A and B are shown apart, each in its own frame.
Chain A
Amino acid sequence: MSLHVIKAGLQSSLQGVPYRGHRHIGMPAAGAADCLSLAFANHLVGKEYGALAIEITLDDAKFSIGKKSTLALAGASSFLRINGSDQPKYEAVAVKPGDIVHIGSAKQGCRSYLALSGTFCAQSLLGGQSTYLPAGLGGFSGRSLLDGDDLDWTDPATMPPPTAPMPAKLQTRITNDFIIRITDGPECDWLAPRSKANLTESVWEIGNQTSRMGISLNGRPLQITGSANMHSAPAFSGTVQCPPNGQPFLLGPDAQTTGGYPRIAQVIRADRHLIGQLRPGGRIQFVAITPKRATEIYREKLVQLTRWAGNIHLW
């Protein structure tokens, strides 16, 4: 036994890189909802940006350590305590058998990532290991962790060299209010002109219907004009769809591969990691930009991140 789950919290699951190239057989991306926090935690323990880590949602969680290791915590959690004493987030921390790791609930934002220097043992399929919860695939028996679970990991051949602490300017400021940049979606012209302006002028509140599959947005309803009758069409993580009731929703990493509602906007790749930090009651404002500008922003972001974290991709 390498890691014993004392308290799993609301939803904790093993997440790493998404599944790629299988959407045509209906396999969604899955993977870390906040890929940037995942990459930070992994880099601090000397691992690839997309290695499996424990994604912890809103609630606090508690684990006991069975084997010597190094861990790092990134994301929304309000504290990291080992045997009751506070430890820094965004730094590598050595742990030994018997240590109790307590991860504080998120007071702002939504998800945290606990990376360990060992490699988690997990179900593999389609070249990935992330947990896809709706179909019970991948990860730890295809499901969220439960109190009492025991996870195994294999130790790395060599202990990773110490990583410099993360430059503070790279950290995402995790709050309850985010500005998220979007491009037009394929059916953005189905919005009445007033509604198209409303999409970016309004502040949208994150609804209670929020999960890894999707996030409901509450605000002044949007109006879809013309033919509201749409055939199922491809959608991706970060696609904003608008059903007839005018209350849009934002697709998350576990969202199905096709959808039957107008795709009015698409969150740009550089900002998509923020989706993992949206919590019920939080607020977002959309800013519309062009695909060309979105690509520049993404590349600039990768250059900055690569300086500290080496090879990195976001999704």
Chain B
Amino acid sequence: MAEAILQFHVCDDWISCALPDAETSLMASASLRHNPQWLEIVAGLDSLAVQFDPAHLDPEEAAILFRQQLTDVGKHALDTFEKIEIPVCYDDLFSPDLNWVSERLDIPTADLPAWHSGLQFNVTMLGFMPGFAYLSCQDKIAEIGRLDRPRSKVAAGSIGITGRQSCLYSFESPGGWPIVGRTPIKLFDSANDHPALLSAGQHVSFRAIDRDEFEHLAHPANR
């Protein structure tokens, strides 16, 4: 990366660097991950931050290291990231805003599941909750915004859409994204060594499933 474009800000135990876009932040984050001096490496949508232990590393030294590592980031192609298909049930029970979204996008409600499961997404970042994924659609979609009144409870597995941006709720939580479906797959499983199902950079597509398959995937042991 060209050193001239990098803008740093140094706090006492973390440093952030402004980057041109989400793709660059992702590449930089993946490329820096093996460096042991960083306690945390967190990508934003157009920035990257590293946290360090100031008992062992001076902020000035840390800034020099960070700058060096960022200038060494090569052009990893984004297609090195994995592809994953996530099953989604678009039944009324799981999609309280299907009508709201279909009106605003001018797509008949009955066609919305087929339309949505035909789209390709990238995971731009994980945040908000452990395993909560922000997705960006590769195709152009009109911006429809968030609900005027956020819900106090959105179910785990819910899929929200505001236009090109979509999200996957990993836990039940409050939220204002319009909800069009739900996956039975656990997006964060603390019993797993890698508890988050998704990681930033992954390519995501959705597969429409019916209620039976949803229940089967949600409770495999009952069958």
Q: B42 to nearest A CB, angstroms?
A: 4
**A233 vs B128: C-alpha distance in the bound complex, in angstroms?**
11
Please judge, given known A-B contacts A183-B12, A313-B55, whether A234 and B129 are in contact too, CB under 8 Å. Answer: no
- Partner of A23 from the list B18, B40, B46, B55 (CB cut-off 8 Å) is B40
**A184 vs B9: C-alpha distance in the bound complex, in angstroms?**
9
Q: Check B60–A292 contact: CB distance below 8 A.
A: yes
Q: Check B129–A135 contact: CB distance below 8 A.
A: yes
**A277 vs B65: C-alpha distance in the bound complex, in angstroms?**
35
Tell me which residues across on chain A come within 8 A of B180, comparing CB atoms. none
Tell me which residues across on chain B come within 8 A of A210, comparing CB atoms. none
CB of B130 closer than 8 Å to a CB of A: yes
Q: Contact mask A12-30 → B, CB, 8 Å, 1/0?
A: 0000000011111111100
Tell me which residues across on chain B come within 8 A of A57, comparing CB atoms. none
Please judge, given known A-B contacts A26-B129, A269-B13, whether A126 and B55 are in contact too, CB under 8 Å. Answer: no
Q: Check A183–B11 contact: CB distance below 8 A.
A: yes
Tell me which residues across on chain B come within 8 A of A23, comparing CB atoms. 40-42, 51
CB of A163 closer than 8 Å to a CB of B: no
Q: Check B190–A234 contact: CB distance below 8 A.
A: no
- Partner of A269 from the list B54, B127, B200 (CB cut-off 8 Å) is B54
**A178 vs B44: C-alpha distance in the bound complex, in angstroms?**
32
Q: Contact mask B188-209 → A, CB, 8 Å, 1/0?
A: 1011000110011000000000
Tell me which residues across on chain A come within 8 A of B136, comparing CB atoms. none
Tell me which residues across on chain B come within 8 A of A135, comparing CB atoms. 129-130, 170-171, 173, 188
Q: Check B171–A268 contact: CB distance below 8 A.
A: no
Q: A136 to nearest B CB, angstroms?
A: 7
Tell me which residues across on chain A come within 8 A of B49, comparing CB atoms. 233-234, 236
CB of A112 closer than 8 Å to a CB of B: no
Q: Check B195–A136 contact: CB distance below 8 A.
A: no
**A263 vs B125: C-alpha distance in the bound complex, in angstroms?**
19
The contact size tier of chain A is 35 or more
Q: Check A25–B131 contact: CB distance below 8 A.
A: yes
CB of B114 closer than 8 Å to a CB of A: no
| Contact residues, B124-160 vs A (CB, 8 A) | 125-132, 134
**A266 vs B10: C-alpha distance in the bound complex, in angstroms?**
10
Q: Check A24–B190 contact: CB distance below 8 A.
A: no
Q: Output the nearest chain B residue to A187 by Cβ-Cβ distance.
A: B9
Q: Which of A27, A138, A185, A302 has the most CB of B within 10 A?
A: A27
Q: Output the nearest chain A residue to B33 by Cβ-Cβ distance.
A: A24
Tell me which residues across on chain B come within 8 A of A231, comparing CB atoms. 44-47
Q: Check B190–A123 contact: CB distance below 8 A.
A: yes
Q: Contact mask A223-249 → B, CB, 8 Å, 1/0?
A: 000000001111010000000000000
CB of A165 closer than 8 Å to a CB of B: no
5 contacts between A and B (CB under 8 A): A24-B200, A125-B191, A126-B190, A184-B11, A233-B45
The chain B residues found within 8 Å of chain A, CB to CB, are 9-14, 16, 18, 29, 39-49, 51, 53-55, 58-60, 125-132, 134, 170-171, 173, 188, 190-191, 195-196, 199-200
